[in-house]
Amino acid sequence: MNHPPLHITFLGTGTSSGVPMIGCDCEVCISTDKKDNRLRSSIMVKSPTTTFVIDTTPDFRYQMLRTETKHIDAVVFTHPHKDHMAGLDDIRPFYYFSQKPMELYANTLTEEALRRDFYYAFSENKYPGVPEINLNTIDETPFYVGDVLLTPILVWHLKMPVLGFRMGNFTYITDANRIDDKEKEKIIGSEVLVLNALRNEKHISHFTLDEAMQLATELKVPKVYFTHISHQLGKHEAINKMLPPHIRLAYDGLTIDMHI
């Protein structure tokens, strides 16, 4: 199957509190290295005809402004935690300028949270200026956003099901601490894998750095980037020096080009 070339931008690579974390003066949070400043985790995907984001974080407005993004066609959600959906209201300007409802793609668990948290966007009698959206319910069945085919990958965030996505030979997974063997099969053959690696110490619902490295080695993906990073992991450059050459920490603003 032919896939369109993709241009991927990391809009944010931090964990739920972002980096620096409010009130913290650790060496990472006070670092002058811009790569140690991490907004909440999200990516933007561009094909020749389609632009969409995966998750609307609390930093979504700033992420759009600093990438000078003028238009997106859709939002794809991984799961209903606040650090991945709280910025949805800021899609309003895109609707204002395009006069087209924003296409949203979410599983039933996330859809329930969206309808609860952004109830005013789903009401029968809408207040002027609320986001105009078209909600598409997804499951583990592959689906298209414009000309981009997304294959959902079910991963586990403790007991919460989270969707990762494979697009061509690029796979994006965030907020996971377990992936079943059946779902790992969907990742094998990817050229680039993005995977969450929160910190060094064990965590109840996220891969540690070592766990993420073990999984990347098991899946034999030639290029791996870690995201959803906490200030507890350490400084960007110091950690990168410890990693094998084909595994890197992602950082805000990093771009990847995937060709056919």
Look up the CATH number of the domain holding residue 41.
3.60.15.10
Q: What is the residue range of 244's domain?
A: 6-258
Helix locations, 54-159, DSSP H: 60-66, 82-85, 92-98, 108-117
- Terminal C-alpha separation, the chain: 10
**1 in any annotated domain:** no
User: Which DSSP symbol is given to 146?
Assistant: T
Q: What total number of domains does the chain contain? A: 1
- The pTM (predicted TM-score) of the whole model is 0.97
Rg (CA), the chain: 18
> What would the pLDDT profile of 82-134 be if each residue is shown by its tens digit?
999 999 999 999 999 999 999 999 999 999 999 999 999 999 888 888 888 99
Per-residue confidence (pLDDT) for residue 1, from 0 to 100: 63
User: Which DSSP symbol is given to 104?
Assistant: E
**CA 81/CA 11 separation, integer angstroms:** 17
Question: Which value, to the nearest 10 degrees, does the dihedral of the CA atoms of residues 200, 201, 202, 204 take?
Answer: -100
Residues of the chain with pLDDT under 70: 1, 260
Nearest to 40, CA basis, from 50, 54, 26, 27: 54
Reading the block at residue 46, the tokens are 């561009």
Per-residue confidence (pLDDT) for residue 126, from 0 to 100: 83
Per-residue confidence (pLDDT) for residue 131, from 0 to 100: 85
**73 in any annotated domain:** yes
**139 in any annotated domain:** yes
**188 in any annotated domain:** yes
